[in-house]
Structure 1
């Protein structure tokens, strides 16, 4: 079985956001699979996807604080600055974290570890709405 959905994410503030439930709600056919894969592809270059801690929101805060420290917007060698001081750092962060995830599906559920969740990283101050393509394959 193959299924593909576009998931639209509402605008979010800069930082990391847990979106596991939104993904599951948008791809209800996950429940019909015994075994499979869910591939998520973010259709943007200044945001990211990653898999990390799903319980303590301080982890998401700390990850964003770490990124802001390591990739500030005022680096003198950045040349791509026409879209604002947050744009080039957002591209760097998106490339470091990546814009795709492939997740196992087992017994009708995402096969995540106890403390794992899907994170959406918004790396712009005002990134706007975002889109994902979710491709599900399995039996």
Structure 2
């Protein structure tokens, strides 16, 4: 089964989507096992499973990636939408456009300290679309 999810993000950073995905699975997979695959339909944002306990881990990831892929690099020619345009595409290429998570007994099989994040690479607030594919085992 396919579900389309939409998220409003306030700008660059890691935005937790775990609760929305978990709630959707709980409605459809009561006590069942399966697989949840999430796919983001954008080239300037990505998906990530990361620590959900200590915010400093996500802050450090964001800072590290911004240092690795800086804005205003003179090599960039794709700057149509501003200085964060090409860096956002590079960041999305270096990270993931999809994640797959097992469903066990109707719940995501995430570890104790794991959460699902939409990683927005642009500065502006925007609407991001995901496709969630759920399959029974």
Q: Same fold (TM over 0.5)?
A: yes
Distance (Å, rounded) in 2 between the aligned partners of 1:77 and 1:92: 12
| Residue in 1 that maps onto 2:81 | 83
**Per-residue displacement from partner, 1:2-52 (whole Å, max 9, x unpaired)?**
x21101101222111221002122344453252210000001000000111
Distance (Å, rounded) in 1 between the aligned partners of 2:62 and 2:35: 28
| Residue in 2 that maps onto 1:125 | 123
Unaligned runs of 5+ in 2: none
- After TM superposition, the runs of 4+ consecutive aligned structure 1 residues lying more than 4 A away are none
**Per-residue displacement from partner, 1:110-136 (whole Å, max 9, x unpaired)?**
001111110110000015100100010
Deviation at 1:57, TM superposition (A): 1.1
* Change in CA separation of 1:30 and 1:114 when aligned onto 2, cut-off 3 Å: farther
Which TM-score applies when normalising by structure 1?
A: 0.92
The number of residue pairs the alignment matches comes to 137
Partner of residue 99 from structure 2, selected from 73, 98, 101: 101
The 5 A counterparts of 1:61-80 are: 61-80=59-78
* Change in CA separation of 1:76 and 1:4 when aligned onto 2, cut-off 3 Å: same
Distance (Å, rounded) in 2 between the aligned partners of 1:37 and 1:80: 37
Unaligned runs of 5+ in 1: none
Partner of residue 5 from structure 2, selected from 1, 4, 7: 7
* Change in CA separation of 1:127 and 1:79 when aligned onto 2, cut-off 3 Å: farther
RMSD: 1.4
Distance (Å, rounded) in 2 between the aligned partners of 1:52 and 1:92: 20
Does the residue aligned with 2:91 lie in a helix, a strand or coil? helix
Which TM-score applies when normalising by structure 2?
A: 0.93
